[in-house]
Amino acid sequence: MSETARFSRAFFFLLDGARIDVFTELLERVDLPNISRYMVEPGSFRSATTVFPSVTGVAYVPYLTGLFPGRANIPGYRWFDRERYQKRPLSLMRFRNYHGLGSYMMDRDLSRDATTLFEILRPSSNIFSGISRGTGMRRNAAYFRRVPAAVKFFRTGSWDHVDRAGEQFLVRAARRKREKFTFHTTYSVDEYSHLHGPFSPRVRACYIDFDRVFGRLITTLRSLGQLDSSLLMLGADHGHTEVHEHFDLEGFIERRGLKTLYFPNQVKRWLNADAAVMVAGNGMGHIYLKGPAKWTARPTANEHLERHPQLVDDLLGEDAIDHVIYRPGSDGEVRVRSKRGDASVWMDGEQITYKVNTQDPFGYGPLPTTMTRAEALEHTAQSEYPDAPVQVAQVFESPRAGDFLVSANRGYDLRRERHNHLSCHGSLHREHMTVPFTVNHPILDRTPRSVDAFPTILNLLGREIPTGLDGKDLTRAPS
């Protein structure tokens, strides 16, 4: 431990799919007494913003790497790789679905330029997250339990056994006194929200169950004499909203005469697709179009629109669709269109240029044309679309991003009904983009981004913060 370190070890708790309002309400009713007493009271509790797409796995990446999903090269829960689809017909790396076995590919998919907290804070351990680079096999013991556990969930509709297993791993990790970093996930809030709705009694009970698990961890840490030297931080990957109607985005593209690859018809389109639709959450989707040449050609969106002039208008003509986002040319412009109007965004390092072309597609009040990323968040944090100018730009830093990205309207999701899906997430909407964030140490009085957790943890453990991150330390005001 260096002289400046406030803590000697850290725990991060990812409460998958936690809504800020439900979490706050339970806190106020003293239904989360341990979180309240050991994180909120000695430290800070904030409404934070997550990333676009606001989906499981993808939105874990910022916490663990300090990078947005675009630069980390994981732009979706499902994605399509144009280059590999064309050149490597036998490869499994040509498109991805992190559901089930695909989750084992996340570490491979993560950009080589990303460094995880597991790699820096060794020894570290991971409990059920898809990203685990740096833990080593032994401290990623939950790895082989994840898929069988999920299969059991789909068979029984119960997620309780997974969380129980997670708790055992957590207590074991806590007892390893030398361990520096432990990342613990709780999936039940997310899974039961999809099945029963985000406000259902079953989901509320999951928040309370997690508080009990956390309470038992506190007891363990106290018995080890490590309670005061443990950094405790909690965040979520996305919120949830109820779904009233399903819109079949895959069918919408297929009906335009395009041979469309999507899950689960990937085998049928193994070789000859001329479009791909990758929906997740299910409130967002990536649309990839081949163009007249090979998949490797990567036409600009304007070139695609010459061949499909009605595409964006037809998408926006659907009640289900709120925003369509694309790069018109090759100068870095990101265009956002909604029924309200359209705007152009450029992200150049820290600087965001935001130009409204007709009416503001997000319905923001007047914004400065140029802002820092921090200012862009500050101006939009309380709006219906927090941090959207930065979020729509960052996702295109991944070469795996679609040609057109679609963000759903409230109340809709973007897949034909397959399972019982009462709730969704993934979009730019406030209720998907806002998450609870609490830590047992004071932080600056500003809206945190999930990506800020990474440098904050490193600083509070007395470690050097790598340069070039998307996240900013929440304990130090920018100089």
Q: In this complex, which beta carbon is closest to Zn ion, that of residue 415 or of residue 472? A: 415
- Give the per-residue contact string, 320-359, with Zn ion (x = CB under 5 A; - = no): ----------------------------------------
Helix or strand (DSSP H, E) at 78:
strand 78-80
Cβ nearer to Zn ion, comparing 44 with 56: 56
- Is 237 a residue that touches Zn ion (CB under 5 A)? yes
CA distances from 367 to 125, 329, 355, 427 (A): 43, 24, 9, 22
- The answer to whether the CB of 97 falls within 8 A of the CB of 78 is yes
Task: Give the C-alpha distances (Å, rounded to integers) separating 196 from 139, 208, 236, 265, 393.
Answer: 33, 17, 19, 27, 33
Residue nearest to Zn ion (CB): 56
Minimal distance, residue 128 CB to Zn ion, in Å:
12
CB count within 10 Å of CB 8 equals 16
434-439 vs 351-356, strand pairing mode: unpaired
Give which of 339, 15, 362, 387 is closest to 204, Cα–Cα.
15
Stretch binding Zn ion (CB under 5 A), from 3-11, 232-240, 304-312, 363-371: 232-240
Is the CB of residue 405 less than 8 Å from the CB of residue 76?
no
Which of residues 15 and 174 has its CB atom nearest to Zn ion in the complex?
Answer: 15
Number of residues that bind Zn ion (CB under 5 A): 5
Q: Which stretch binds Zn ion (CB under 5 A): 8-16, 137-145, 160-168, 374-382?
A: 8-16
Task: Report 186-215 residues binding Zn ion (CB under 5 A).
Answer: 190
Who's near 415: CB < 8 A, 6+ residues apart? 246, 248, 249, 250, 279, 282, 421
Task: Give whichever of 43 and 197 is closer to Zn ion, judged by the CB atom.
Answer: 197
Choose one: 56-64, 111-119, 151-159, 380-388; the region binding Zn ion (CB under 5 A).
56-64
Q: How far is the CB of 177 from Zn ion (least distance, A)?
A: 31
- Which residues touch 12 (CB under 8 Å, ≥6 apart)? 63, 117, 181, 182, 183, 184, 233, 234, 235, 453, 457
Q: Which is nearer to Zn ion, 130 or 471 (CB)?
A: 130
Site for Zn ion, residues 353 to 392, rule: CB under 5 A: none
Least spacing, CB of residue 130 vs Zn ion, in Å: 11
Q: What is the closest distance, in whole angstroms, from the C-beta atom of residue 236 to Zn ion in the complex?
A: 8
Nearer to Zn ion, 240 or 327 (CB): 240
Candidates 11-19, 125-133, 290-298, 338-346; binding stretch for Zn ion (CB under 5 A): 11-19
Contacts (Cβ under 8 Å, ≥6 apart) of 366? none
DSSP string, 152-170: HHHHHS--HHHHHHHHHHH
Amino acid at 306: E
Give whichever of 153 and 326 is closer to Zn ion, judged by the CB atom: 153
Q: Which of 13, 17, 116, 449 binds Zn ion (CB under 5 A)?
A: 17
Q: Is the dihedral angle over the CA atoms 294, 298, 303, 307 positive or is it negative?
A: positive
Q: How far is the CB of 190 from Zn ion (least distance, A)?
A: 4
Rounded CA separation 317/431 (Å): 23
Angle between helices 143-156 and 160-175 (to 10 degrees): 160
Minimum distance from residue 199 beta carbon to Zn ion (Å) = 17
Nearer to Zn ion, 70 or 235 (CB): 235
Report DSSP state, residue 36: I
Which span sits near Zn ion by CB under 5 A: 32-40, 53-61, 66-74, 246-254? 53-61
- Taking the complex as a whole, the smallest distance from the CB of residue 138 to Zn ion amounts, in Å, to 26
DSSP 111: -
Nearer to Zn ion, 186 or 353 (CB): 186
Cα(442)–Cα(231) distance, rounded to whole angstroms? 11
Of 1-9, 12-20, 25-33, 74-82, the window that binds Zn ion (rule: CB under 5 A) is 12-20
337: enclosing H helix or E strand:
strand 334-337
Single residue of 11, 13, 14, 16 touching Zn ion by CB under 5 A: 16
Q: Which is nearer to Zn ion, 20 or 460 (CB)?
A: 20
Calpha distance 317→370 (Å, rounded): 31
Q: Closest distance between Zn ion and the C-beta of residue 398, in Å?
A: 19
Beta carbon nearer to Zn ion, 51 or 401: 51
Q: Which residues bind Zn ion (CB under 5 A)?
A: 16-17, 56, 190, 237
